[in-house]
């Protein structure tokens, strides 16, 4: 293994990004319906055009962008090539890229996934990746190792914005805590050992999450802003005491303003400023 960076690299990178460009995380979700609404073919060429317009619109004003990997993967190798270029272009412009891949496995497979998304030598290398803890938070150790080594971050699914997740995530563990709360507590312990907030949380902004976040000072990715019903005004009560590195995510509510680049940029800036005002 190469030498590790000094402690706290990821937190400093993320803090610098949100201080200079705000806390809004804009999602790039090129599903078939949005491509059609932009007058683009549901093809690799349409995907490529969509991604280039998004990069142009968000690169100068938004600190964090989250490509949804599945919408690129569905086009096979051509789609992945577009994703690779999109990630590289955003990062070159100073944007932090969160690859929304929701990966998670065990052993060498987990290590391979971690290297794919976090190792700088990988063409998919991102600043952070979303991960699933449902093979055990401990099984994410290879991701933690790669994130720590390369100054990157993870966002582990805790309490997601989809209603189907409630049965599993709110189930009670033998300790009496919910599964989601157990993920929060284990993530906090991982960060304490890593001496950095490498493990952030995914906590949906669409409903009361029921989590005690007082002992978790790390980053929180909060999907659900806009099209899923959450508003910027909901954030202070949902995430009281957790606003410093809170990253509310908006995808469809911004993307519906495309394909005009100026309109996309304006929509993102308006959403960003609303978040900053609400969390001030």
Its sign, for the CA torsion 205, 157, 76, 66, is: positive
Query: 3-class DSSP state for residue 3?
Result: coil
- Quote helix, strand, coil % in the chain, to nearest 5: 50, 15, 35
Q: CB neighbours of 46 closer than 8 A, spacing ≥ 6?
A: 35, 40
Out of 12, 31, 91, 102, the active site residue is 102
Q: Which residues pair with 230 in a beta bridge?
A: 225
Please write down the long-range contacts of 5-10, taking CB distance under 8 Å and 24 or more positions apart: 5/149, 5/150, 5/151, 7/194, 7/195, 7/196, 8/195, 8/196, 8/197, 9/151, 9/196, 10/128, 10/147, 10/151, 10/152, 10/153, 10/196, 10/197, 10/198
Which ranges of the chain does DSSP label H, i.e. alpha helix? 9-21, 32-37, 44-58, 70-73, 77-92, 107-118, 141-150, 166-169, 179-194, 235-238, 252-255, 261-279
**102 classed as catalytic:** yes
Report residue 130: phi and psi, to 5°. Answer: -80, 140
Residues with catalytic roles: 102
């Amino acid at each position: 293994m190469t030498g590790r960076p000094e402690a706290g690299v990821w937190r400093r990178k993320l803090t610098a990004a949100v201080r200079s460009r705000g806390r809004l995380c804009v999602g790039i979700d090129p599903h078939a319906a949005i491509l059609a609404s932009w007058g683009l073919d549901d093809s690799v060429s349409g995907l490529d055009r969509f991604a280039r317009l998004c990069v142009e619109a968000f690169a100068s004003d938004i600190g964090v962008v989250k490509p949804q990997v599945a919408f690129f993967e569905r086009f096979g190798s051509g789609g992945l090539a577009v994703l690779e270029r999109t990630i590289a272009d955003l990062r070159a412009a100073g944007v932090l890229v969160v690859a929304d891949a929701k990966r998670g496995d065990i052993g060498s497979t987990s290590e391979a996934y971690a290297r794919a998304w976090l190792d700088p030598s990988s063409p998919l290398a991102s600043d952070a990746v979303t991960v699933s803890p449902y093979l055990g938070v401990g099984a994410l150790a290879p991701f933690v190792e790669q994130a720590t080594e390369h100054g990157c971050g993870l966002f582990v699914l805790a309490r997601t914005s989809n209603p189907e997740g409630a049965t599993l995530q709110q189930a009670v563990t033998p300790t009496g805590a919910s599964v989601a709360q157990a993920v929060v507590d284990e993530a906090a312990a991982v960060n304490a050992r890593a001496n950095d907030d490498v493990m952030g949380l995914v906590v949906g902004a669409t409903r009361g999450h029921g989590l005690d976040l007082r002992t978790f000072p790390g980053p929180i990715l909060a999907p659900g802003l806009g099209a899923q019903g959450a508003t910027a005004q909901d954030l202070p009560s949902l995430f009281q005491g957790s606003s410093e590195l809170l990253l509310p995510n908006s995808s469809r509510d911004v993307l519906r303003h495309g394909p005009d680049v100026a309109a996309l940029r304006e929509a993102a800036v308006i959403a960003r400023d609303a978040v900053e005002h609400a969390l001030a």
